[in-house]
Amino acid sequence: MGISEDNRHLEELDKKYIWHPFTQMKEWLDDKPVIISEGRDCFLKDVHGNWYLDGVSSLWVNIHGHGKIEIDDAVKDQIDKIAHSTMLGLSNVPAIRLAERLVRIVDQSLVGGRQSALNKVFYSDNGSTAVEVALKMAFQYWVHKGEKERVSFLSLKNGYHGDTLGAVSVGGVDIFHSVFGPLLFKTYKAPSPYCYRCECGEAHPGCDMECLKRMEETLIENSREIAAVIMEPLVQAAGGMIVSPPGYLKGVRDLCTKYGVLLIADEVATGFGRTGRMFACEHEEVVPDIICLSKGITGGYLPLAATVAKEEVYNAFLGEFKDLKTFFHGHSYTGNPLGCAAALACLDIFEREKTLEVLKPKIEMLESFLRDISSLDHVGDVRNRGMMAGIELVRDKETKGPYPWEEKIGWRVCYYAREKGVIIRPLGNVIVIMPPLSISLDNLERLLWIIREGIIKVAG
Ligand SMILES: Cc1ncc(COP(=O)(O)O)c(C=O)c1O
């Protein structure tokens, strides 16, 4: 069988057997799929030998590039020892070392090395499970404290925390979540800190953060029923790269403290350097009670997640065997040694390559590009925090009138980029820029240039 025939066969098999996530399969079946066979640095190679710039970090996970030798070696070394053993009733070497390391970097990042007591690491295997763990942990914490009426959560409009049902219950992106409404548990919703389209009808600055006041009103009325506030610190990522105004995150922390509810920071997207600091909470010196980590934790190599809790939360679960205070939750691949070995290597690279320091000129380049592109006719809003950026395209800049969802304006820009050798993925009308942190300035410039061209070609 020749190479092209082989590839055609792969395409047929894909279409015959695979159901792709977040994909209208009818369209997929009519399309020519890009089938990736290799990756190097910030590039992906398809089976035909075409190379693409990975402008979406393989869905926001890749940090140090593909085929990073140190991570490759760490995984290979670990596989020579053992690929997997269970954490239920046993432990493993890389999981222990990583837990200690994570607690240390969370401490350094969030409280400058002073003990934050965010020091108990519960492993799982993806962002959604990290969130499920946090929700169940928060709920059961209050049960043990004798506050069984705390059966709900407060979450944000436009929030996204994953696709499992607990995560969807605290989600707030209607287009993804509303169909599952009948299956979800009750939550309270606070407005999204989306200044470009403020739900409260205010304009920032000068609004005194009405969105926080509304959150407070909900807490005043219902805090006895609320186990925790869950939020994405600084950037509501999948909701459209919505960047909260300065002081908002700190304001939420203060409200949680004032009304005695836990704060769960979902740093699945923002963690591991994406916002320019190790964790987004660091920007506003906020220490949550529980933090959810995944995506970049392994440098984008393997599925792994960690839900890190304060000691006080953990202590509430201690008791005699017969007390049934155990946290009855766990997954088959919890604390997988290969994932933990990759994560340790990923953290070593952060230190050795000073990833966060070298990021600064890249963030400057991105911000200067965003300033420049904001003058285009159909660019309604540009926003970023570090290397997470969104460009919101609008039909009418004056009225902020959006393009109808079905016009797929975002996708059309992304298809254009793909023809030019760049992989990006939109969120509705928002073009997302989120390349690996290791991207070179030259490659970043190329990525931004092609996005600019795409927007001009498609939207004018
Ligand atoms: C903030 C946030 N939380 C949770 C998730 C879910 O992660 P996963 O897709 O690994 O389940 C995502 C995914 O994009 C996310 O952005």
Is the distance from the beta carbon of residue 162 to the nearest atom of ligand 1 less than 6 Å?
yes
267 Cβ closer than 6 Å to some ligand 1 atom:
no
- 300 close to ligand 1 (CB < 6 Angstrom): no
Among 343, 308, 329, 341, CA closest to 87: 329
d(CA 141, CA 121): 15
Instruction: Give the position, in ligand 1's atom list, of the atom nearest the Cα of 305.
Output: 10
- Per residue in 42-86, pLDDT (tens digit) is 999 999 999 999 999 999 999 999 999 999 999 999 999 999 999
Residue nearest to atom 13 of ligand 1 (CA): 162
pTM of the model: 0.97
Map tokens 């003990």 to a residue.
115
R_g (Cα) of the chain, nearest Å: 22
Annotation: CATH topology of 34-64+354-459:
Aspartate Aminotransferase, domain 1 (3.90.1150)
Q: Is the CB of 238 within 6 Å of ligand 1? A: yes
Measured from the CA of 59, which atom of ligand 1 is nearest? 14
d(CA 262, CA 227) in angstroms, rounded, equals 6
Cβ 142 vs Cβ 148: under 8 Å: yes
Q: What is the pLDDT of residues 210-259, one digit of tens each?
A: 999 999 999 999 999 999 999 999 999 999 999 999 999 999 999 999 99
Q: Kindly give, in sequence order, each residue whose CB lies less than 8 Å from that of residue 184, ignoring residues fewer than 6 positions away.
A: 165, 168, 169, 177
Q: Return the pLDDT at 285.
A: 94
Distance 127 CA to ligand 1 centre (A): 4
Any idea which fold 75-352 has?
Answer: Aspartate Aminotransferase; domain 2 (3.40.640)
pLDDT, position 111? 80
Domain residue ranges in the chain: 34-64+354-459, 75-352
Write the pLDDT tens digit of every residue in 424-448: 999 999 999 999 999 999 999 999 9
- Give the least confident one: 105-119, 288-302, 357-371: 105-119
Question: What is the rounded CA–CA span in Å between residue 140 and residue 57?
Answer: 35
Q: Each residue of 342-384: pLDDT tens digit?
A: 999 999 999 999 999 999 999 999 999 999 999 999 999 999 9
- 160 in contact with ligand 1, CB cutoff 6 A: yes
